[in-house]
Amino acid sequence: MDKRIFGIETEFGCMVRDTTLGTAEEVVEHVKDYAFYERKLGVIDLHARDYAFEPARAGGFLKNGGRLYIDAVGSHEEYATAECTDILDLVRHDRAGRILLSQLLQELNLEEMVSFHNNSIDHFGGHTFGCHENYLVQIEDRFFNEALNYLLPFLVTRQIFAGLGRVGGHKLVRPNSKSNIMTMSEHEVDYVWVSNFYGVEIDPTVDFQLSQRADHIVKTISSRVRFNRAIINPKWDSYYSYSNLHRLHILFGESNMSEYACWLKIGTTSLVLDLIEEGVVPADIELLDPLETLRNVSRDATYKWLVPMRNGTVITAIELQRRYLDSAKRYLHQKDAQTDAILQEWERILDDLERDPLSTHDRLDWSAKHRLYTQFMEENGTTWQDDIMQSVDLEYHNISPATGLFYGLEAAGEMRRMVTDAEVEHAILNPPDNTRAKGRGYVVSKLAEAKGARYLIDWDAVYIERNRQLELKNPFHTYEKEAQRFVRGV
């Protein structure tokens, strides 16, 4: 593909420090309603997108082409970026979601009592929630599952630069364990698709690891993911499908605070998909056991990151990544400026990780955390196993620029920026200029100003009343002129 469409969906944890405000579930509903009914940042869904998980008015599309909604599984505030084809655009729109939610808390005077966290783990509750990635891919249906086998080794090992890092670990157990700290919710939605329910315990043998979600992944590829979490969840829907192109939904992603780590994660994954589509993936990349390797690499405190291969050899995660990199350099070099920038930084980060993994603390979340937490423990006489370290770990992901630990590092010039604050502010209200989000965002802006309009909006179409329809099938087309004609008289 000359260009690729991609997007990110992020589920945010919510912490309520004042019980008089209500439960976390009530607070996220309040914030969502304020965004649509008071701030008019978009238009609320008038229809149910999914009767169990996204009923009517659970959220809606934003003026910037993305979505803000409540995920009924866990009642998370969730933000989905607009479709992007430029990786820096995606970084801007991903960060715009965090800044937007922080601004909403400030306007509601809740910032001292409520915080949203761009993390993927509840240390004590045993829950995990995700940051999912979507890619438009050119893979024929009959070859889809086979092609994904070439992607899995890359996804399993990219945590060495894309991992969030986390204090401690979890282990999965059967639900009859006496020390089980995870209980089934009383909500009916939690009983949908439960084919492999398990319990979760704190694992005291782990001090720190690369990935927040590695302990919770139980499948490589699965279409049924409730308590059956997989690395990849194939999704066959119309939203991202166009011509012979389909949507690839990656579940094993994590909510990077670092702009650089997010940019490199999306960029390298896109290049690997290029290799798969061109049929030029490197040879001998099949893992002996992807799930065991996922956990072992995450938990390896020596940073050797050994990877047993199906052919009987053992290499390092860095060596495996270099196999993908070498193929990408051979076949994709000079494809475009964006590709060359990713190739250059991919090689540089692997070199730095091989030389000194912790030298990457100015770019990668996990190494920035490790450096920060080690300093904290030395100054305060604490250990990895002290409860306060779980709290410190959580505050790294606080999305408030005023109080979040990550933003403190960034303000001190200790984290590399990829975009500017002005660009992020622009992305809060404006869609990317070169995808269908441009036309949809224009329609949403006009509908937000109208009174009493009846509409139905989806990623690939907009309907007004009963007889007016705007198709948005081509994700690479902006639909600007079509959108302007469509909303006349609204």
pLDDT digits (tens, 9 = 90+) for 277-292: 999 999 889 999 999 9
Q: Which of the residue ranges 63-77, 116-130, 441-455 has the most confident prediction, judged by mean pLDDT?
A: 441-455
> Against a cut of 0.85, is the pTM above it?
yes
Res 212 pLDDT > 90: yes
Answer with the residue of higher pLDDT: 275 or 489.
275
pLDDT band (50, 70, 90) for residue 139: confident
Tally Cβ neighbours within 10 Å of residue 374: 13
Are 104 and 86 contacting, i.e. CB atoms less than 8 angstroms apart? no
* Helix (H/G/I), strand (E/B), else coil: 448: helix
pLDDT at position 189: 39
6-429: CATH, from 3.40.50, 3.30.780, 3.30.360, 3.30.590: 3.30.590
Q: What is residue 136's DSSP assignment?
A: E
CA distance 226 to 448: 34
Amino acid, single-letter form, for residue 273: L
Res 490 pLDDT > 80: no
pLDDT band (50, 70, 90) for residue 84: very high
Mean pLDDT, rounded, for 296-300:
97
Q: Please, what's the b/e burial string for 178-215 (b: 16 or more CB within 10 A of its CB; e: otherwise)?
A: eeebbeeeeeebbeeeeeeebbbbbeeebbbbbbbbbb
Nearest Cα residue to 47 out of 462, 429, 482, 474? 462
pLDDT at position 87: 98
Amino acid, single-letter form, for residue 438: K
CA distance 270 to 87: 10
Percent over 90 (pLDDT), the chain:
73
Res 35 pLDDT > 50: yes
CA distance 22 to 18: 8
Res 357 pLDDT > 80: yes
Res 243 pLDDT > 80: no
pLDDT at position 420: 98
pLDDT at position 476: 96
Are 430 and 66 contacting, i.e. CB atoms less than 8 angstroms apart? no
Q: The tokens of 95 are what?
A: 């960060």
Mean pLDDT, rounded, for 193-206:
69
Backbone angles phi, psi at 306, to 5 degrees: -75, 140
Q: What is residue 171's DSSP assignment?
A: E
Mean pLDDT, rounded, for 71-94:
91
CA distances from 51 to 191, 209, 225, 227 (A): 14, 38, 18, 20
pLDDT band (50, 70, 90) for residue 224: low
Mean pLDDT, rounded, for 61-79:
89
pLDDT band (50, 70, 90) for residue 75: confident
pLDDT band (50, 70, 90) for residue 226: low
Mean pLDDT, rounded, for 417-443:
98
Answer with the residue of higher pLDDT: 238 or 131.
131
* Helix (H/G/I), strand (E/B), else coil: 475: coil
Are 121 and 128 contacting, i.e. CB atoms less than 8 angstroms apart? yes
Place of tokens 């994590």: 254
Answer with the residue of higher pLDDT: 431 or 466.
431
Active site positions, annotated: 71
CA distance 242 to 153: 27
pLDDT at position 192: 35
Straight-line distance from the first to the last Cα atom of the chain, in angstroms, rounded to the nearest whole number: 37
Mean pLDDT, rounded, for 158-181:
78
Place of tokens 């399993």: 156
Res 71 pLDDT > 90: no
| Burial class of residue 397, CB neighbours in 10 A (0-12, 13-18, 19+) | buried
61's enclosing H/E stretch is strand 59-62
CB contact set of 17 (below 8 Å; sequence gap of 6+): 112, 113, 114, 115
pLDDT at position 183: 47
pLDDT band (50, 70, 90) for residue 188: very low
Backbone angles phi, psi at 251, to 5 degrees: -85, -35
